[in-house]
Amino acid sequence: MKTNIRTWLAPILALTASVIISFSAAAQSDPLPSWNDGANKQAIIGFVEAVTKPDGPDFVAPGDRIATFDNDGTLWVEHPMYTQLAFALDRVKALAPQHPEWKTTQPFQAVLEGDMEALGKSGMKGLMEIIGVTHAVMSTAEFEKITSDWIATAKHPKFDKLYTALVYQPMLELMDYLRANGFKTFIVSGGGIEFMRPWTEKIYGIPPEQVVGSSIVVEYKVIDGVPALMRSPKIAFIDDKEGKPVGILTHIGKRPIAAFGNSDGDYQMLQYTTTGPGKRLGMFVHHDDAEREYAYDRKTHFGMLDKGLDDASKEGWHIISMKNDWKQIFPK
Shortest approach of a second copy to residue 253 CB, angstroms? Answer: 3
324-330-332 Cα angle (round to 5): 120
**Integer CA distances (angstroms), 314 to 96, 122, 279, 311, in order:** 50, 38, 16, 5
Q: Which residues contribute to the site for a second copy (CB under 8 A)?
A: 63, 140, 184, 193-194, 197, 201, 207-211, 215, 218-220, 222, 226-227, 229, 242-246, 249-254, 268, 271-272, 275
Q: What is the rounded distance in angstroms from the CA atom of residue 259 to the CA atom of residue 62?
A: 16
Shortest approach of a second copy to residue 184 CB, angstroms? Answer: 7
CB of 264 closer than 8 Å to CB of 307 = yes
Q: If you ran DSSP here, which 8-state letter would residue 44 be given?
A: H
Alpha helices in 277-331 (DSSP H): 307-315, 322-325
Kindly tell me which of 11 and 227 has the beta carbon lying closer to a second copy: 227
Kindly tell me which of 266 and 325 has the beta carbon lying closer to a second copy: 266
Shortest approach of a second copy to residue 69 CB, angstroms? Answer: 15
Which residue type is seen at 53? K
CB of 252 closer than 8 Å to CB of 244 = no
CB of 289 closer than 8 Å to CB of 323 = yes
**Integer CA distances (angstroms), 301 to 1, 76, 298, in order:** 81, 16, 9
Shortest approach of a second copy to residue 211 CB, angstroms? Answer: 7
Please name which of 235, 197, 195 lies closest in space to residue 216, comparing C-alpha atoms.
235
Kindly tell me which of 72 and 194 has the beta carbon lying closer to a second copy: 194
Kindly tell me which of 179 and 254 has the beta carbon lying closer to a second copy: 254
Kindly tell me which of 140 and 328 has the beta carbon lying closer to a second copy: 140
**Integer CA distances (angstroms), 91 to 189, 233, 330, in order:** 22, 15, 27
**Integer CA distances (angstroms), 329 to 73, 84, 168, 302, 322, in order:** 12, 21, 5, 19, 8
CB of 260 closer than 8 Å to CB of 225 = no
Shortest approach of a second copy to residue 209 CB, angstroms? Answer: 5
Shortest approach of a second copy to residue 8 CB, angstroms? Answer: 42
Q: What is the rounded distance in angstroms from the CA atom of residue 239 to the CA atom of residue 273?
A: 16
Kindly tell me which of 68 and 262 has the beta carbon lying closer to a second copy: 68
Kindly tell me which of 113 and 242 has the beta carbon lying closer to a second copy: 242
Shortest approach of a second copy to residue 235 CB, angstroms? Answer: 14
Kindly tell me which of 30 and 242 has the beta carbon lying closer to a second copy: 242
Q: If you ran DSSP here, which 8-state letter would residue 64 be given?
A: G
Shortest approach of a second copy to residue 221 CB, angstroms? Answer: 8
Q: What is the rounded distance in angstroms from the CA atom of residue 15 to the CA atom of residue 111?
A: 64
Kindly tell me which of 108 and 317 has the beta carbon lying closer to a second copy: 317
Shortest approach of a second copy to residue 275 CB, angstroms? Answer: 6
